[in-house]
Structure 1
Amino acid sequence: MIHVIAIITAKPGNREEVIGHFKAIVPAVHAEKGCIEYRITVDADAGPFAKVGTDTFVVIEKWQSMDDLKAHIGADAGLQMLAKTEALLADRVVHILEDA
Structure 2
Amino acid sequence: MSTVHVFAIITAKPGQREAVLELFNANVPTVLAEDGCIAYEATVDTENAGPMQTLFGPDIFVVVEKWASMAALGAHATSEHMKAYSASTKDMLADRVIHILSPFQ
TM-score range, shorter chain: over 0.9
Residue 79 (str. 1) matches residue 71 (str. 2): no
- The unaligned stretches of length 5 or more in structure 2 are none
CA distance in 2, matches of 1:96, 1:72: 13
CA RMSD, 1 decimal: 0.6
Give the TM-score of the pair, scaled to structure 1.
0.98
The number of residue pairs the alignment matches comes to 100
CA distance in 1, matches of 2:36, 2:70: 9
- Alignment partner, residue 65 of structure 1: 69
Q: What secondary structure is seen at the aligned counterpart in 2 of 1:18?
A: helix
The amino acid across from 1:55 in the alignment is D
Please list the CA deviations of residues 19-78 of structure 1 after superposition, one character each: whole Å capped at 9, or x if unmatched: 111101100000000000000100001112101100000000000000000000011111
- Alignment partner, residue 8 of structure 2: 6
Q: What secondary structure is seen at the aligned counterpart in 1 of 2:56?
A: coil
Instruction: Give 1 or 2 for the bigger CA radius of gyration.
Output: 2
CA distance in 1, matches of 2:40, 2:27: 10
CA distance in 1, matches of 2:76, 2:12: 22
- Amino-acid identity (%): 53
**Shift >6 Å, 4+ stretches:** none
Q: 1:28 aligns with which of 24, 27, 30?
A: 30
- The unaligned stretches of length 5 or more in structure 1 are none
